[in-house]
Each structure stands twice: as structure tokens, then as C-alpha cells.
Amino acid sequence: MYPPQFEYIPANSLDDVLKLLDERGEEAKILAGGQSLIPLMKLRIARPALVVDINRVKGLNYMNMEDGSLKIGALVRIAQLERTKFPSQYDILRAASRQVADPQVRNMGTVGGNAAHGDPGNDLPAVFISLKSKYVVKSKRGTREIPAKDFYKGPFTTELRPDEVLVEVNVPHWDGYSGGTYLKFERRTGDYAIAAVAVQLTVDDDNRVTRAGVAFTNAGPTPLPAEEIEESIIDKRGLENLLTSAKNAFDKMKVNPVSDLRGPDWYKRDVMRVLLLRGIKTVYERLVR
């Protein structure tokens, strides 16, 4: 199916984007990689009157380590994340990005688009939540920094206002003995997750967990931050202790995956539990000395 008629404006600068969104944000959609927007427009689920293409905007495609944090510009392609050799503290970014869709989608799809779209099946939001990242969003009114864990409000509904554009994902510093993984269970390679988990840990010289980030993909209407699980493993040492605490915390957590073609809710819950424990084991065993 063809999309209904729309106006297309390729923006040349961020100022142009902000001006257009200021004037016509309610009827506009930003076009980044187009890997979600175009299919939705062709299905006529999204019907923007104006499409603002940001692909020519300079200064949105960068990855910098600055002031101890990793800054990722919104126009970085998922394939760039996959190819970048990050310091080992950020190895979760490669682990996750290589599991997003297929190479064609990753070549076009952007970090900003994956984060901003609000699809609970998108893989990167859980990763950014587990890394305690903030999203930097801009409008003509100014700049806001929104913690990734507070950004998602419902399926395809986020904190982003119609006049705002996501310009950067800001990943804070994780010190030396830190690392993470992203485990995704899918029906076939390249599919959205049945369920997936992002686990990021820091351990001290005594092999005690001092910092933890855990979040799930496709576990309900939004990416799901799991602060209860994080708290349950902080200050713990020893794999068995960690796994017991995490399992107990998970079983008490409110987790409502949706029953659909990928499986019934009880099955997805079981998959989440297995992935969680496997993820903690993988990361902890890599970090302990």
C-alpha cells in the first residue's frame, strides 16, 4: 500500500528541524533511518502531513568519550554501533546492536530512531536503561535531559513532545570492573524478541556487586526497568547468592508481558527469568577475579 500524500522537507541543519517542529510539530514526523516510520506510513497507521528528513543534518553522527561519559549522536546507525570496539565496560552496546533485525535494517536504522520510536520490541531502549543513560532532547524552547528509564510511557508513547528532537544518548561513566550483556530470545534470527534482557554490572576488588543495571525488552507495554532486581544484587558477592537474590526479586516483580503470536504471557515470563539468570551469570563470571 502507498502512504497517503505528505509534504517532505529534507532539513539542512538542526536549527531548521527545530524551527519546523516549532511551527508544525503536531502534524510532523521526523525521518531518520525510516525503518519503522516508512512501514507504518505504508500501512497507513502513521499519517503525518509533514515528514522532516534529518539525514542531511550535520553534527548528529558522532560517538565521543567526553568527561567520562560516552555520547552517541542520534544519527549514528545501528551498524556503526555494531562495528565499534568500545572499551570493555560498554561491550553491551555491541552485543545488543548485532542482534537488532538484519544487516539491511541496521545499516539504515539509527540509534535515535530506535530509542525515540517507543516500540517495546526495540532492543536498544533496555540497553540504554541498564546503562543508566540519559536522552538529550532539543526544541526551540531549550534542551532537556531525560533518564532513559523515565522516557517510555506506553506503547509508542514517550516523553518526547511534538516540537522536540532526540539529539544524543548520554551513557554515564562505568568504572574499570564493569561490563554487560544483552540476551535475546527470538523465533528466528532478525526477528523482534520474544523476550530479552540487558544486564550491566560493576564489581569491586572483593568481587562484590557495587552497581547494577537490569532492563527487559518486550516485557509489557514499555521497555521494563528492573530496579527491584538491581537492588537485590547490590552488595552481594558469589554467583549463587546473586542468582538466588535475582530470582526472588524477579518472582515478586510486576511483569506483564502480552500474550501474542510470540507466545503466551506465562511462557514469556519464564523466558525472561531464564535470560535474567543467564545474563547475570555471564557478566559476573566475566568480571570476577
Ligand X SMILES: Cc1cc2nc3c(=O)[nH]c(=O)nc-3n(C[C@H](O)[C@H](O)[C@H](O)COP(=O)(O)OP(=O)(O)OC[C@H]3O[C@@H](n4cnc5c(N)ncnc54)[C@H](O)[C@@H]3O)c2cc1C
Pick from 43, 44, 73, 55: nearest CA to 8: 55
Only segment of 1-9, 25-33, 139-147, 225-233 that touches ligand X (CB under 6 A): 25-33
Specify the pairing of strand 28-31 against strand 50-53: parallel
29, 138, 236, 273: residue in contact with ligand X (rule CB under 6 A): 29
- Of 83-112, which residues contact ligand X (CB under 6 A)? 100-101, 105, 108-110, 112
Q: Which is nearer to ligand X, 135 or 177 (CB)?
A: 135
Q: Is 192 in the site for ligand X (CB under 6 A)?
A: yes
Separation between Cα atoms, residue 8 and residue 252, nearest integer Å: 49
Is residue 243 a contact residue for ligand X (CB under 6 A)? no
Q: According to the binding rule CB under 6 A, does residue 224 interact with ligand X?
A: no
How many residues form the binding site for ligand X (CB under 6 A)?
A: 30
Q: Is 134 in the site for ligand X (CB under 6 A)?
A: no
Q: Which of 32, 93, 219, 253 binds ligand X (CB under 6 A)?
A: 32
**Is residue 96 a contact partner of residue 124, using CB atoms and an 8 Å limit?**
yes
x/- contact string, 145-184, with ligand X (CB under 6 A)?
---------------x----xx------------------
We find the least distance from the C-beta atom of residue 13 to ligand X, in angstroms, to be 14
Residue type, 195: A
Cβ–Cβ under 8 Å, residues 135 and 168: yes
Taking every pair of Cα atoms in the chain, the longest distance, rounded to a whole number of angstroms, is 62
Q: How far is the CB of 149 from ligand X (least distance, A)?
A: 17
Tell me the residue ranges of DSSP E strands in 54-190.
63-66, 69-73, 134-139, 142-147, 152-154, 157-158, 165-171, 178-186
